[in-house]
């Protein structure tokens, strides 16, 4: 059972979110708070597994409360965010300050209309947050043996790569900024899937572009994937790639319907059909198994797969199954991934 502290100045929001969480049978809301100061005190005394935090509150807002909690009593915090441009900017700032993830405020306020998928995703985020790296500070290395041993960087084999595909979820925005700021200046397109709502991705693409070694933009339907450029999948839509006239073309669509949109599986499966053994796939921090089925298909066509290490993931979900089932070629800590890419692509 995951013990949760719900923080929101709206009584209605607190009641609705409490009901959604407790109806799962996996989560216990141990208390609520109506402002940031109350949240800080209750975080100290109650020691919840996870805190859900609204942004706009009296006395002390969510961002200021988050800063204090991360210093005084580090606890996994999930921001409850409005899906506006301003809300997106604030949420991305919160992720930099240590928040693990975010949930849309609309899902809470539209309690009676929330879809089954949205409800399941919300619950999954809370459960994943409990097991995130913030929840278990790495004072002692907590590792389980995995059968794939990462080769030394000197042992990495150069390959003929035509496309790089990256997928991530929880912990992804900060992780992507880290690797893209140190990414080699590759002469191939880089396609990126980050589980994110539609209002967030334009802002995140610009944020990535500012710090990345290669230009990055939000992908558009039917545009050519140009060498040396990065393309972030638009939130709420699927991104895939196909070939036409010797060019790699990006396809943006609302199909297929999946829990995670954009989906890593959709991107990786299209790579398995299009760039095949000339694909370099990177699976990074995130909850759930999105990406695994696509990587299985990609592996069969000869693609190369890098998985982020358990030790450096905020949530070791998406890389876990590919790693444990021995379909990854290389495992690296977050800061090692750019160097591994450089060795493979040359």
Q: Domain spanning 2-130: which superfamily?
A: Response regulator (3.40.50.2300)
Q: What's the pLDDT at 154?
A: 61
Q: Which residues contact 174 (CB under 8 A, 6 or more apart)?
A: 95, 96, 314
**Residue 107, CB-side half-sphere exposure with 13 Å CA sphere:** 22
Q: Give the C-alpha separation, 7 to 34, whole Å.
A: 6
Q: DSSP for 6-62?
A: EE-S-HHHHHHHHHHHHTTSSEEEEEEESSHHHHHHHHHHH--SEEEEESS-SSS-H
Q: What's the pLDDT at 173?
A: 95
Q: Give the C-alpha separation, 91 to 85, whole Å.
A: 10
The fold of the 153-345 domain, in CATH, is: Rossmann fold (3.40.50)
Residue 104: in which H helix or E strand, if any?
strand 101-104
Check if 2-130 and 153-345 are the same fold.
Answer: yes
CA angle 35, 36, 39 (to 5 degrees): 90
Q: Which residues contact 146 (CB under 8 A, 6 or more apart)?
A: 310, 323, 324, 331
Which three-class secondary structure state does DSSP give residue 276? helix
Query: Is-contact 268 281, C-beta < 8 A?
Result: yes
Q: Give the C-alpha separation, 267 to 283, whole Å.
A: 12
What are the extents of the domains in the chain?
2-130, 153-345
Whole-structure pTM value: 0.91
Torsion angle of alpha carbons 260, 224, 175, 330, nearest 10°? 90
Question: What is the set of active-site residues?
Answer: 169, 195, 290
Q: What's the pLDDT at 152?
A: 57
Q: Give the C-alpha separation, 102 to 81, whole Å.
A: 6
Sign of the torsion formed by the C-alpha atoms of 270, 271, 277 and 282: negative
What's the average pLDDT block by block, 10 residues per block, for the chain (346 residues)? 96 94 96 97 97 92 95 95 82 93 84 82 93 55 46 78 98 96 98 94 96 98 98 98 98 94 98 98 96 98 97 95 96 96 94
Residue whose C-alpha is closest to residue 26's, from 52, 54, 53, 49: 49
Which three-class secondary structure state does DSSP give residue 117? helix
Q: Give the C-alpha separation, 174 to 91, whole Å.
A: 12
Q: Which residues contact 124 (CB under 8 A, 6 or more apart)?
A: 287, 288
The separation between CA 221 and the C-alpha centre of its own chain, rounded to angstroms, equals: 22
Residue whose C-alpha is closest to residue 88's, from 232, 199, 8, 234: 199
Q: What's the pLDDT at 201?
A: 96
């Amino acid at each position: 059972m995951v013990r949760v502290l719900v923080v929101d100045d709206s009584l209605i929001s607190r009641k609705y979110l409490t009901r959604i969480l407790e109806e799962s049978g996996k989560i216990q809301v141990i208390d609520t708070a109506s402002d940031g100061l109350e949240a800080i005190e209750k975080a100290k005394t109650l020691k919840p597994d996870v805190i859900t935090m609204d942004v706009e509150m009296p006395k002390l807002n969510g961002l200021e409360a988050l800063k204090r909690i991360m210093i005084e009593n580090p606890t996994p915090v999930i921001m409850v965010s409005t899906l506006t441009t301003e809300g997106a900017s604030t949420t991305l700032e919160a992720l930099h300050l240590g928040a693990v993830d975010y949930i849309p405020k609309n899902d809470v306020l539209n309690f009676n209309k929330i879809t089954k998928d949205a409800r399941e995703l919300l619950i999954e985020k809370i459960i994943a947050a409990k097991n995130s790296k913030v929840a278990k500070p790495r004072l002692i290395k907590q590792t389980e043996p995995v059968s794939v041993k990462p080769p030394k960087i000197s042992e990495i084999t150069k390959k003929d790569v035509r496309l790089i595909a990256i997928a991530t979820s929880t912990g992804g925005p900060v992780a992507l900024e880290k690797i893209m700021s140190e990414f080699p200046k590759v002469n191939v397109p880089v396609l990126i899937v980050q589980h994110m709502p539609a209002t967030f991705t334009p802002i995140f693409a610009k944020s990535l572009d500012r710090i990345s070694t290669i230009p990055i933009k939000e992908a558009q339907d039917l545009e050519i994937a140009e060498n040396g450029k990065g393309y972030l999948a638009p939130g709420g839509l699927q991104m895939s790639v196909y070939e036409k006239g010797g060019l790699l073309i990006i396809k943006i669509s609302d199909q297929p319907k999946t829990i995670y949109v954009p989906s890593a599986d959709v991107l990786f499966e299209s790579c398995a059909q299009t760039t095949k053994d000339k694909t370099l796939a990177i699976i990074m921090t995130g909850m759930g198994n999105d990406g695994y089925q696509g990587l299985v298909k990609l592996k069969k066509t000869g693609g190369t797969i890098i998985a982020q290490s358990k030790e450096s993931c905020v949530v070791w979900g998406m890389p876990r199954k590919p790693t444990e089932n021995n379909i990854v070629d290389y495992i690296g800590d977050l800061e090692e991934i750019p160097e591994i890419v450089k060795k493979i692509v040359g």
